[in-house]
Amino acid sequence: MNNTISVIIPCRNEEKFIGQCLDSIITQDYPTKNLEILVIDGMSQDRTREIIEKFKIQIIDNPKKIIPCALNIGIKQARGEIIIRMDTNAIYAKNYISKCVSCLQKYKADNVGGVIKTLPKKNTIFAKAITLALSHPFGVGGSHFRAGSKKPRWVDTVYGGCFKKQIFEKIGFFNENLARSQDMEFNLRLKKAGGKILLVPDIISYYYPSSTLTDFFKHNIKDGIWAIYPLKFVKMPFRLRHYIPFIFTSSLLGAGLLAFFFPIFLYLFLLIFSSYFLTNMYFSVKIALRERDLRYLLIMPITFAIRHIGYGLGSILGLIKLLK
C-alpha cells in the first residue's frame, strides 16, 4: 500500500505568509518520509519562490494563476493515495495532518476538515473586531468550520480538506471556471454523489484575515460575487446561508427605493432595518461584555454590517454579472 500523503499548497505572491505556513507543515508529527509537499505557484513576482526554495520543497508552475487550476495540477501530479489541501495564509497545529488521515480512515469519510481559529493580523481593535465577526455565528451563519463545533459532525463543506485521491477519479476535479468558491462547488458535487464530509473540531488551523475595515469590506464584496456568479457555470445553488446577505441587502435597498414612490414601503424598510439593528446590537453587546471592552459596542455593529452588507452588495454585483 502507498503510505505517501500528498500536501498540495496553491500560492501566488505570498512572501508574507508562505514561510510560517511551510514551517508549520514540515514540523508536523506525521512521519516526514511519508509526506510529499507540492507548492503550486501562480508565477509569483515577489520573493515567494525564493522563500520556498530555502525549504527545499518542490515548486510546480501554475500558468493560469488561479486556485482551482493549482489544485488540479497538484492532484494530477501527486504520488499519494491521500491528498490534503492547505493554504498559505494559515498555519497548522502540529497534529493537523495525522488527525486528518486518522479521521478519514476512522469515520470512512470522503473529505475531512477542521476548524479555523481566526487570529488578528495586527494588534489593533479593528483587526480584533474582524476576527470576532468571522468566528461568531451571527457573522458567519451556519459555517461550522468558522464558528466551531463541540464534536465531530457531518457537514456540507469544510476548510481545506483531506481526500482519498480516488474521489477525484469518481466525481472529477475542481471547476476551473471558478476563481473562488471552488471548494463549495466541489463539495456539493461530492455530497450529490453520495460522499460524506466530516468536520472534526480537534483538527485546527490558524487564519489571519484582513486587518482593516476597508480591506475587510473589499474581501466580502468578492465573496458575495462568487456566491452568485458560479451559477453561470454550475446548475447547483449553494446552501441558503450563502444567499441570506443577498436577500437582506436587496430587500433593504429595494424597500428604501420604493419608499420614495410608495410610502407604504417605508414601513417595510424600517421593519427590516430595525430588526437587523437590534439583532446586531444584541450580539455586539454580548461580545463587548465578554471581552470587557466597551469599544466593541461601537466597532462590532459596524464590523458585522460590513460583513453582511459587503457580502450582500457583492452578491448583487454577481447577479448583474451573471445576467450580463
Instruction: Decide which of 211, 227, 255 is a domain's last residue.
Output: 211
**Closest by alpha carbon to 26, among 15, 17, 35?**
35
Q: Is residue 154 located within the same domain as residue 20?
A: yes
Q: Is residue 297 part of a domain?
A: yes
C-alpha cell at 228: 452568485
In tens, the pLDDT along 156-191 reads 889 989 999 999 999 999 999 998 889 989 998 999
- Candidate from 55-64, 177-186, 312-321 with smallest mean pLDDT: 177-186
Q: Is residue 307 part of a domain?
A: yes
Q: Is residue 316 located within the same domain as residue 168?
A: no
Count the domains in the chain. 2
Instruction: Decide which of 174, 191, 211 is a domain's last residue.
Output: 211
What CATH number corresponds to the domain at position 173?
A: 3.90.550.10
Q: Is residue 203 located within the same domain as residue 248?
A: no
Q: Is residue 54 part of a domain?
A: yes
Q: Decide if pLDDT at 214 tops 80.
A: yes
Q: Is residue 125 located within the same domain as residue 199?
A: yes
Q: Is residue 60 located within the same domain as residue 18?
A: yes
Q: Is residue 168 located within the same domain as residue 32?
A: yes
Q: Is residue 319 part of a domain?
A: yes
Q: Is residue 316 located within the same domain as residue 194?
A: no
Averaged pLDDT, 12-26: 94
Q: E strand or H helix at 321, and its extent?
A: helix 296-323
Q: Is residue 110 part of a domain?
A: yes
- Asked if 220 contacts 139 with a C-beta cutoff of 8 angstroms, the reply is no
Per-residue model confidence (pLDDT) at position 236: 67
235/69: higher pLDDT = 69
C-alpha cell at 189: 458535487
Q: Decide if pLDDT at 137 tops 60.
A: yes
Q: Is residue 298 located within the same domain as residue 202?
A: no
Q: Decide if pLDDT at 143 tops 90.
A: no
Per-residue model confidence (pLDDT) at position 2: 62
Q: Is residue 146 part of a domain?
A: yes
Averaged pLDDT, 24-41: 94
Q: Which residue has the cell 473529505?
A: 111
Q: Is residue 245 located within the same domain as residue 182?
A: no
Averaged pLDDT, 136-161: 87
Q: Is residue 36 part of a domain?
A: yes
The crossing angle, in degrees rounded to 10, of helices 182-192 and 67-77 is 60
In tens, the pLDDT along 81-128 reads 999 999 998 999 999 999 999 999 999 999 999 999 999 988 999 999
C-alpha cell at 235: 446548475
- Asked if 133 contacts 307 with a C-beta cutoff of 8 angstroms, the reply is yes
Instruction: Decide which of 166, 196, 211 is a domain's last residue.
Output: 211
In tens, the pLDDT along 229-267 reads 888 887 767 778 889 999 999 999 999 999 999 999 999
Per-residue model confidence (pLDDT) at position 36: 96
* DSSP-derived secondary structure letter, 84: E
- The pTM (predicted TM-score) of the whole model is 0.88
Q: Is residue 179 located within the same domain as residue 36?
A: yes
The parent domain of residue 288 ranges over 240-323
Q: Is residue 36 located within the same domain as residue 116?
A: yes
Q: Is residue 181 part of a domain?
A: yes
Q: Decide if pLDDT at 1 tops 60.
A: no
Q: Is residue 205 located within the same domain as residue 118?
A: yes
